[in-house]
């Protein structure tokens, strides 16, 4: 997300510059997408290179590329040295495709036309109390993805990229049982399940989702052999029974409250009393302080008619689904762990 390097001081000219900078946030997104598209970070992995060298390597126009990189450098994405060559910065490292927890695919997904057009139509979402995505593309996001394989692959790649840092953070902080079965409901490619199974060698798991993400799951390794299975299905209809811990990671925020209540009741029907449910989501803090969840909340409103929630809102939602919220655990990443018990 584009942000101004400072808060306005109150001077009229400073306020004007700040607001104009914020209004041009879409330009920053486009510049970031351009760098990701041409894999500039990969070309800088072995050291600084001039714009002319980068232009040859990426088959781009050097003067135009220079303008994009100069702009990104003002936000800490790349840095121009005294010789005029560009180099990686800590903020640019995750744009590489060959590093752990790469955000390259996530950037391409979030800056894609699917989401830029949807965000541009946000005034309509506010007027009509519903996501603008369906009005633009003719179907809700998840229905659209079923009919557009390229968009589906972009979405799955992007979500896997975006989720990777959180997967390890959740697995590191939550005390999963040493034995038993974790059921990852709507778990995508299974990054979180993989992280949990790696940390607990006697634990088994079920990855439950639709066919497209399951086709590219991340569980097929010698280390995890014989300890997992995948199952295809619709989590509004039923989920696998008999698990000890059920996980909903970045699932509830995709849906309005009524749909979440249906999903939670489906999970509760598959669970024995006393079993645990982990909801991995941003938990919105009060007040005016910036928080990634507040950004995502507005994005979800436009794209899928979903929302981020406060701890009290989670407690109410969970109670309606047959659960009691027991605690909220922060992680080293953006989402928190909302733990609940089936009653």
Q: Is the pLDDT of residue 4 over 70?
A: no
Annotated catalytic residue, options 61, 104, 253, 291: 253
State pLDDT tens for residues 34-91.
999 999 999 999 999 999 999 999 999 999 999 999 999 999 999 999 999 999 999 9
C-alpha dist (Å) from residue 102 to 47, 48, 118, 157, 199: 18, 20, 25, 11, 21
State pLDDT tens for residues 193-248.
999 999 999 999 999 999 989 999 999 999 999 999 999 999 999 999 999 999 99
| Maximum CA extent, the chain | 66
State pLDDT tens for residues 108-166.
999 999 889 999 988 888 888 778 898 899 999 999 999 999 999 999 899 888 888 89
Report the pLDDT averaged over residues 286-309: 91
**Most confidently modeled of 100-104, 183-187, 297-301?**
183-187
Contact indicator for 249, 280 with CB cutoff of 8 Å? yes
Please report the pLDDT score of residue 7 as a whole number: 61
Contact indicator for 104, 156 with CB cutoff of 8 Å? no
**Active site (annotated) includes residue 250:** no
Report the pLDDT averaged over residues 292-299: 92
Task: Indicate yes or no: pTM above 0.75.
Answer: yes
Alpha-carbon distance of 151 to 128, in angstroms, equals: 26
Please report the pLDDT score of residue 6 as a whole number: 57
Strand (E) or helix (H) holding 277 = strand 276-281
């Amino acid at each position: 997300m584009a942000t101004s390097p400072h808060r306005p001081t109150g001077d009229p000219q400073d306020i004007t510059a700040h607001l104009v900078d914020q209004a041009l946030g879409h330009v920053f997104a486009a510049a970031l997408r351009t760098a990701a598209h041409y894999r500039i970070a990969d070309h800088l992995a072995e050291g600084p290179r001039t714009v002319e060298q980068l232009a040859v390597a990426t088959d781009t126009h050097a003067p135009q590329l220079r303008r994009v990189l100069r702009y990104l450098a003002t936000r800490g994405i790349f840095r121009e040295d005294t010789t005029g060559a560009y180099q990686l910065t800590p903020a640019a490292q995750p744009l590489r495709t060959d590093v752990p927890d790469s955000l390259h695919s996530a950037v391409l997904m979030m800056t894609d036309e699917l989401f830029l057009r949807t965000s541009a139509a946000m005034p309509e979402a506010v007027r009509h109390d519903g996501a603008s995505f369906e009005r633009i593309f003719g179907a809700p996001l998840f229905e659209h993805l079923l009919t557009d394989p390229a968009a589906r692959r972009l979405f799955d790649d992007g979500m896997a990229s975006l989720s990777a840092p959180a997967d390890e953070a959740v697995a590191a902080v939550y005390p999963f049982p040493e034995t038993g079965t974790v059921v990852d409901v709507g778990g995508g490619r299974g990054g979180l399940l993989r992280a949990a199974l790696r940390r607990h060698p006697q634990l088994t798991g079920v990855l439950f989702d639709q066919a497209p993400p399951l086709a590219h799951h991340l569980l097929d390794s010698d280390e995890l052999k014989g300890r997992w299975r995948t199952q295809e299905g619709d989590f509004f209809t039923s989920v696998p029974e008999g698990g000890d811990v059920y996980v909903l990671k970045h699932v509830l925020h995709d849906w309005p409250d009524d749909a979440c209540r249906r999903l939670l009741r489906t999970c509760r029907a598959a669970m024995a009393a006393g079993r645990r449910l982990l909801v991995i989501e941003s938990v919105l803090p009060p007040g005016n302080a910036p928080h990634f969840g507040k950004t995502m909340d507005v994005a979800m409103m436009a794209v899928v008619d979903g929302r981020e929630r406060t701890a009290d809102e989670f407690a109410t939602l969970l109670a309606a689904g047959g659960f009691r919220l027991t605690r909220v655990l922060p992680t080293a990443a953006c989402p928190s762990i909302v733990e609940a018990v089936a009653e």
